[in-house]
Amino acid sequence: MGRRKLQLKRIENKSSRQVTFSKRRGGLIKKARELAVLCDIDVAVVVFSSRGRLYEFSSTNSLACILDRYQRRFDEEAVSQNSVNAEGSHSKYSNRLSHAQLLQIVQRQLEGPNFEQMTVADLVQLEKQLDATLAQTRARKMELMMESLKTLQEKERMLKEEKEHLEKELAAAKNGQDTTAAMTMAMATLPLLR
Amino acid sequence: MGRRKLQLKRIENKSSRQVTFSKRRGGLIKKARELAVLCDIDVAVVVFSSRGRLYEFSSTNSLACILDRYQRRFDEEAVSQNSVNAEGSHSKYSNRLSHAQLLQIVQRQLEGPNFEQMTVADLVQLEKQLDATLAQTRARKMELMMESLKTLQEKERMLKEEKEHLEKELAAAKNGQDTTAAMTMAMATLPLLR
DNA sequence: GTGACTATTTATAAGTA
DNA sequence: TTACTTATAAATAGTCA
């Protein structure tokens, strides 16, 4: 949909790829929002730009928490597969080494020319750093998931309240219907209605 | 884009909401794929239907793996959170060393008389074991929390359904009340009742 | 890296089978 | 349900500022 039809393949021109990225990213997120609203469901979209920037949309808070983990690069898989090479300095945890980075360092030391100089103390140091980093990661993960759980529990509580209220209203309304039935019978006995 | 313009709000008619969901879900995922290909980037889309079903698109394998965890049932072998540390020969991971055990070994090696004999390779081996153990623990924790989230989402879904049902019933009952009112008026006009 | 401006292509709401 | 069809609304490619 544009002045001409596009082939479904990487746009080679860099600047028009950038423009298309910006436009379509907006379009995608708009559509995600519409889908969520129109159909009353939960939708999440995650977009990584080529320079590692993250754009996301999420129709619910709990999903937002879950998806935030992608950005924070806390997921082990994401860390080992994507961000070791990237600089990832936009994270407030950038001063810590990632798990994967530590492993890489160990690996390099093993294969390097001077691995004989690597002392046990050095490695223990690495080990400790690794441990601290992982503890941090686990703690943050925990925090995020606890947040999610809280949100969901709150939702559940409110829905239950709503349900109770509706049930009361319904009971009251049903009484009204009984009256109707009684009246119908009463009227049937009236000669004028025959 | 259709025969007429839609308001951006929940579609009340259930069947057309369902149809719209199906169509727009497809459209959203198609657009996500196009964006990923045209701009050569990573995109992920997650959609929860109102009945808790999950639809997802991911341009990369790693994200797909992460998202798959939401959907997957974890009713395989139940590995308790503690079994890694426990002597536990009942776990299939019992041959792995615990994190604490590994640290202890490293510590002992450091303080021991023959720590000079501890090679880098040995430590890397320990490092790897440690890594595997921690990964296992994290994965299991994740599984358990995801299960909780899933359960809560399911609960939410069912409560929503119940609520809708109650609302319908209530509406019907209210109609009944209108009938009552009409009858009351009708009876008031009958001479015999005076 | 945006913000308009259109000519076109796409997506899709209703309708139909 | 599920699948087509079609009239219309939306998105957007190319372009300039």
- pLDDT greater at residue A7 or residue A135: A7
Contact B175/A at CB under 8 A: no
pLDDT band at B52 (very low <50, low <70, confident <90, very high): low
- pLDDT greater at residue B61 or residue A169: A169
Nucleic acid strand C within 7 Å of A6 CB: yes
Query: By C-alpha distance, which of A166, A136, A118 is closest to B134?
Result: A136
Nucleic acid strand C within 7 Å of B32 CB: no
Cβ within 8 Å of residue B83, ≥6 positions away: B90, B91, B93, B94
Q: What's the pLDDT tens digit per position in B2-23?
A: 899 888 898 888 888 889 999 9
* pLDDT score for B60: 72
Q: What's the pLDDT tens digit per position in A39-68?
A: 988 888 878 777 767 677 878 765 544 444
CB contacts, 8 Å: A83 with chain B: none
* Overall pTM surpassing 0.75 (yes/no): no
Find the closest chain A residue to B119 by CA distance. Answer: A120
Q: Which of A38-47, A91-100, B177-186 has the lowest mean pLDDT?
A: A91-100
- pLDDT greater at residue B50 or residue B34: B34
Nucleic acid strand D within 7 Å of A19 CB: yes
Dig out the tokens for B155 from the structure: 């609960």
Residue A158 has pLDDT above 80, yes or no: yes
DSSP designation for B85: T
Sheet holding B42-48, edge to edge: A54-58, A42-48, B42-48, B54-58
Q: How far apart are CA B109 and CA A123, in angstroms?
A: 12
Q: Assess contact for A190 and B190: CB atoms under 8 A.
A: yes
Residue B35 has pLDDT above 80, yes or no: yes
SS3 A95: coil
Contact B54/A at CB under 8 A: no
Distance A31 CA to C12 C1' (A): 12
B103/A6 Cβ within 8 A: no
> What mean pLDDT comes out for the span A69-91?
37
* pLDDT score for B23: 92
